[in-house]
Amino acid sequence: MISGESAITEAMPDLSFESQLNGYVCGVDEAGRGPCAGPLCVAAVILDRNKIPDMIRDSKKLSESHRFKLEPLIKQSAIAWSVVEVSCEQIDAMNILQATMWGMAEAVIRLSVTAHHALIDGNKAPKLSIPSHPIVKGDDRSLSIAAASILAKTARDRIMIEMDSIYPVYGFKKHKGYQAEAHLEAIRLHGPSPIHRRSWATVRNLATSAL
């Protein structure tokens, strides 16, 4: 456990957590736990503390265009980064918590440079061969986690924009698979698509009503 994990702050994320640890520290975050369609994307990032792009923060507090502008800057300046896609079939087979833990562990493993510590957004951490530190609201507090949140979100948004062209009746480009009323109505009318999560009660119920 590293100090400061219980404090909640609205300040911009910084390197306070990273500076308490020796060696390479990766931040890990996911995008897509809540939607009823599409994959979960998980990213891990080891920042170069001497080359950090400006205005990195929790991806949810950035516009879509700003996230896409920051994405290549993070990738170009980072010591290492990885993004893992966890399919809706994997989510249905494992459940969303286990799928998230698997994706986080896999993202750390896939880094081209071995991390010595992992900062994990949330209150749970996957089993890793290195020390892991869960941080509640970590994407608001750690620059490494915030950078990972941006890479995870842009990767997932890109997938959902592509899925919109394949399954246009659902409006994935707009709501990215979250349970917007227009999305739910489309499932009622057309039934679930191949990228809907069949283990979600919402999808099961609407699929039955569409028959």
Residue 183 has a pLDDT of 97
Q: What is the pLDDT of residues 27-84, one digit of tens each?
A: 999 999 999 999 999 999 999 999 999 999 999 999 999 999 999 999 999 999 999 9
Q: How many domains does the chain have?
A: 2
Kindly state whether residues 89 and 36 are assigned to the same domain. Answer: yes
| Contacts for 154 with CB less than 8 Å, ≥ 6 apart | 59, 67, 68, 71
* Same domain for 140 and 45: yes
Do 147 and 176 fall into the same domain? Answer: no
Give the residue with greater pLDDT, 136 vs 6: 136
| Cα gap 144→91, rounded to integer Å | 26
pLDDT at 210: 59
Which domain does 188 fall in, by range?
A: 164-210
Instruction: Give the mean pLDDT of 83-111.
Output: 97
Picking from 156, 179, 198, the residue at the C-terminal end of a domain is 156
Judge if 142 and 168 occupy the same domain: no
User: How many CB atoms are closer than 10 A to CB 11?
Assistant: 8
Q: Does residue 6 carry a pLDDT above 60?
A: no
pLDDT band at 208 (very low <50, low <70, confident <90, very high): confident
Are residue 177 and residue 146 in the same domain, yes or no?
Answer: no
One domain for residues 133 and 68: yes
Partnered with residue 25 across adjacent β-strands are 117
99: in domain: yes
Which residues does residue 81 pair with via DSSP β-bridges, in sequence order?
A: 45
Residue 5 scores a pLDDT above 50: no
**What 3 state SS string does the chain have?**
CCCCCCCCCCCCCECCCHHHCCCCEEEEEEECCCCCECCEEEEEEECCCCCCCCCCCCHHHCCHHHHHHHHHHHHHHCCEEEEEEECHHHHHHHCHHHHHHHHHHHHHHCCCCCCCEEEEECCCCCCCCCCEEEECCHHHCEHHHHHHHHHHHHHHHHHHHHHHHHCHHHCHHHHCCCCCHHHHHHHHHHCCCCCECCCCHHHHHHHHHHC
Per the annotation, binding residues are 29-30, 121
Burial of residue 22, with CB atoms counted within 10 A of its CB: 0-12 exposed, 13-18 middle, 19 or more buried: exposed
Same domain? For 71 and 118 the reply is yes
| Residues 59 and 110 occupy one common structural domain | yes
Between 1-5, 50-54, 174-178, the lowest mean confidence (pLDDT) is in 1-5
Does 168 fall in a domain?
A: yes
pLDDT of res. 209: 65
The pLDDT assigned to 189 comes to 94
Q: Pick out the residues of the known binding site for a divalent metal cation.
A: 29-30, 121
Average pLDDT over residues 179-198: 96
Predicted pLDDT of residue 4 = 47
Task: Let me know whether 86 and 61 are in one domain.
Answer: yes
Q: Is 4 a domain residue?
A: no
For residue 173, pLDDT beyond 50: yes
Residue 10 counted as domain residue = no
Q: What is the pLDDT of residue 11?
A: 73
Confidence of residue 207 (pLDDT cuts 50, 70, 90): confident
Residue 72 has a pLDDT of 98
Shared-domain flag, residues 120 and 202: no
What's phi and psi for 121, nearest 5 deg?
A: -70, 130
Whether 9 maps to a domain, the answer reads no
Confidence check: pLDDT of 1 > 80: no
Q: Which residue has the higher pLDDT, 10 or 129?
A: 129
Look at residue 10 in the predicted model and tell me its pLDDT: 53
Question: Residue 158: which of 181, 143, 177, 183 has the closest Cα?
Answer: 177
Average pLDDT over residues 198-205: 93
The verdict on 29 and 97 lying in the same domain is: yes
* Same domain, yes or no: 205 and 144: no
User: What does the pLDDT read at residue 211?
Assistant: 53
114 falls within a domain: yes
